[in-house]
Each structure stands twice: as C-alpha cells, then as structure tokens.
Amino acid sequence: MTIGITIGLTKEYESLWVNGIKLNALFLANALSQIEGNEVWILDTSRKVEDLTKVMWDINKFPVKDFYKVHKDVDVLITLGTSFPEESLKAFKSISPNKRVVKYMCGNNYAVDMERTLFTDGKNLGKAAWDIGADQVWYVPQQEYQNHYYYETIFKAETFPVPFVWDPMFLESDMAHKLKQGKKTPIYKEGVENSKKRISVFEPNLNVLKFAMIPILITERAYRNNVEFDTLFIASGEKLLKNDYFKSMIVNLDIVKNGTPKVKFTPRYPVSHYLAESAEIVLSHQWENPLNYSYLDALYLNFPLVHNADMIKDMGYYYPDFNAEIGSIQLQKAIEDHDESVAEYNKHNHEKLKRYTIENKKLIETYKMLLENLYEPNKHNLSHKYDWQTNTYL
C-alpha cells in the first residue's frame, strides 16, 4: 500500500532540529517502510517550498511530494504535521472505499489547548487542529495520561497509543558533518574534573510541561551540599530573565547570589550544539511527557542524563516526579561517580534504546498489524495497552 505522512515545510533546507514534528514524520516513515509491500511518502501540504528536493534528508530514502498533486494515489493518509477540515477528509475518502485516514498526535494537546484558552484571547491562533473524520487516532504513548479521553471524545474515533519511534540516523549524519568541518562532535568525553563539569538543561520553557525551574532547584540543592561543578546552562532561558517575577524567584538562590553566578541563561540552540559545546551532564524535568527525542539523543551520545521520565527510568539517572532532593542526589552521582562505570552505563543504555528503533522487530510487527486492522477491524487482537519496557503492547 502507499502511505502518505503529512508535514508542513516553511522554507528550503529547514533544519530538522527546529521541532520534533519533521523528525517524528521521518522516524515513522522509516518504521512503516520496513513493512513489506509499503511505499511511504512524506507529503508537504504548505506549498511554501517550490523545489521539494531542497530538504535536509535523503529524498531517495524518504521521498517528499506535493500533497495536492499525489493525494489521490495514497491509500493510507496519516495526518501528522498538518491538519485538515472535515470536508477535506471526506473528499479524500470519497475517492475510493479503500482510502483510510489516521490522525497521528505527537504533542500534549490538552495542556497546550488549556493554556491557549485560559491565557490568551485566541484571536491569532487559528482553529483547533481537529481532523474530524479520521478512521483512527494514534498518539505517542507519553500523552496517554492527559490526552486519551480528550482525543477519543473530540475526534469521535477509535483512539489508542502506538509505539514510540526514534533513530540515531540524523545524529550520526550531523556528527559526520561536524567532523568534516573540523567542529566539535557531541559525544561525551570522560576525564573532566568535577569542578569543570558543565550541566545543561534543554527544556524549551514554552509552557508548564517542560520548564527549567526544577533543574535549577536540583542544582541549587547539590551546590548547597558542596557538589562541585562549573556552570549550569539553561537553554531557551534568555527570555526568562525578562520576567521580573521569575527573577524574584531565583534571586536568593546560592547559585545566583554567591560571588560569580553558577547559572547562565542562553538562547535556544539545537541539542547537538549544546552537547558539543556546553555539557558534561544533561539535567531535565518534564510534566507528563516522559518520552522525548532529546533524552534518547543524549543517552545515545553517552551523556549522563539526570531525569524524571518514568518511561525511561531504566536508563540514565532517574528521580521521581518533582522530587528535587532525590534529583540532587542523582546529579551528585552523575558528576562524581559516572566515569567509574561509563562503559557499563553506555552498553546498558544502547541496548535499551533499540526498543525505539527498527531493530525492534516487535515494533515493526505492531505497526504492520495496526495497518492491517485499519482494513480488517480486529484481524489482530491488539490490547492497545502500552508497555514502556518493550515499547509495544502488553
């Protein structure tokens, strides 16, 4: 079958690291193309890029086409990076009784929509991205807690989590490019003195789901416990310093007020830039978003990751929920003890990371059964109960 996955390009050679949407589409395409008999296309719906060969990926491996020119040839339309009004989906499905539509959700829509409703007037946001008329709704598993019934109720369609897909292919190509240019590569290097180790926080600080405050408090507690380090870098943090209320929250922290501040707030950069230039430790915090490409990237590149993501609590240095005290203990371990067991740490994490890649044959088989169930409901008796330890169903 021919499968089309939608995205919206904004300009030629747009970076893959701007957000996770394009990566999500490409990783999903990679997984679905492993299923025999499938041809998978990336479908641009924006019409902002005239020459669709000018993208940051191999178009032979991941063909990109103009949705409006080829949509009639698509059997399964997966609306991932863009949305369609109900009448457009009806028109697509009217072409043939064999057409199917899957809405693929990869963000915490409930939390984002709540913020847009409560904290803005909504005038410049357009309409909510609800593709009414999809046959099924698939969502990344980390969104189940807050979004399952939200999606199911609004979309009026069968709704369930699907395996999370990730791959280091673009990290590898980025590193090869950096090596060719003589730049630093984002790979963890052993042997740095504790007093010179830099801690980096990558939370985007765009909403309450990924905010840098807990990592700041974790570092503060470790500092009060005489843990040595050089600097805490807060990426996407410059805008925080424009907020007087935020500044009043941190002004009395020891990492801020004692002599030379130990924390620096920086602009937004790609994660690979930070890992190459400003990190020996990655420290993170999220709220109900316990799978993230940046976490898997950091683990793949051998960095000690201090995190509260319970869907990867068998990797890195895990602390629960908002527990800054346990987080500070884990940060201390990552700073002081990591190099003693680095080989074992890397081997363990690399093995676990395979569950998100095409090396996980059960992942590919699960997607094969999901596609077949689109045409023959209940052909495969899938539980749709996500198991984080296998990244498939129970």
How far is 171 from 152, CA to CA, in rounded Å?
A: 35
CATH of the domain at 378: 3.40.50
Q: For residue 66, what are the contacts with CB-CB under 8 A and spacing of at least 6?
A: 43, 44, 47, 52
* Same-domain check for residues 156 and 173: no
* Same-domain check for residues 311 and 336: yes
pLDDT band, very low/low/confident/very high, at 257 (cuts 50, 70, 90) = confident
pLDDT tens-digit readout, 71-119: 999 999 999 988 888 899 999 999 999 999 999 999 899 999 999 999 9
* Same-domain check for residues 317 and 334: yes
Residue the block writes with tokens 């495969």: 380
* Same-domain check for residues 192 and 287: yes
Cα separation values, 279 from 195, 196, 258, 275, Å: 13, 10, 22, 5
> Is residue 126 exposed (0-12), middle (13-18) or buried (19+ Cβ within 10 Å)?
exposed
pLDDT tens-digit readout, 26-68: 999 999 999 999 999 999 999 999 999 999 999 999 999 999 9
* Same-domain check for residues 19 and 141: yes
260 DSSP 8-state letter: S
Average pLDDT over residues 301-317: 98
Residue 131 phi/psi, 5-degree rounding, is -85, 75
* Same-domain check for residues 155 and 258: no
* Same-domain check for residues 138 and 237: no
Taking a C-beta distance cutoff of 8 angstroms, is the pair 306, 330 a contact? Answer: yes
Provide the percentage of residues in the chain whose pLDDT is more than 90.
82
CATH of the domain at 322: 3.40.50.2000
Residue the block writes with tokens 């949407």: 21
How far is 36 from 26, CA to CA, in rounded Å?
A: 18
Predicted confidence at residue 139, as pLDDT, reads 97
338 DSSP 8-state letter: G
* Same-domain check for residues 136 and 176: no
pTM exceeds 0.85 for this model: yes
* Same-domain check for residues 144 and 258: no
Domain extent, residue 296, equals 169-354
* Same-domain check for residues 151 and 176: no
- Is the pLDDT reported for residue 177 higher than 90? no
* Same-domain check for residues 50 and 195: no
Domains held by the chain: number: 2
Predicted confidence at residue 98, as pLDDT, reads 95
- Is the pLDDT reported for residue 131 higher than 80? no
Looking at 253-323, list the stretches that DSSP marks H as alpha helix, in order from N- to C-terminal side.
254-257, 271-277, 293-300
* Same-domain check for residues 317 and 369: no
